[in-house]
Amino acid sequence: MRPPVVVRKVGTPPPGDPEQGHFGLAVQDYTHSTAPNRRFADIVTQRLVKAVLAGQLAPYSDDELAAIALNCTLKEDAARKVEREMSKRIAAVAMSSRIGETFDAIVTGVTSRGTFIRVLRPAVEGLLSQGQQGADVGDKLRVKLIRTDIQRGYIDFARD
């Protein structure tokens, strides 16, 4: 009979060995989220909790916390923007071989920049660049794929 397989996170000690703690936080026991973009916020939170539990003054002033929060928000917004841009490019790659095909779509937005649609199958978003007159949010349309621009992540449709 084989011994049971023990699965553990890389860098964690085997069962029964003493915990090493977290070097950067200087604590034995800690928690953190799994998203890398949250690690700095986790460190700040752990430092605040540690100070409160030890009866010490907060390690950051209100102004410092406001600056840290703003920085975290800006970084998260920038990461979200990159993610959206890459998703648009991937969709343009996927659709580039389907130029000339028709699809069922729904209008998702009408702005001064254009009329935006979402194709139902496959689920991609694009611009209704021809035949957008009179289209309104929620309208169901039949559209033809007329152009993709992979570098810019653009997918253009015409009303069919």
Global pTM value: 0.63
Per-residue model confidence as pLDDT tens digits over 50-108:
999 999 999 999 999 999 999 989 988 999 999 999 999 999 999 999 999 999 999 99
The partner residues of 148 in beta bridges, in order of sequence, read: 155
**CA separation for the pair 22, 11 (Å, rounded):** 11
CA distances in angstroms from 160 to 3, 92, 104, 105, 146, listed in the order given:
64, 20, 10, 11, 11
User: Which structural domains are found in the chain, ordered by start?
Assistant: 99-159 (2.40.50.140)
By the 8 A CB rule, do 48 and 69 touch?
no
Structure tokens at 136: 């309104």
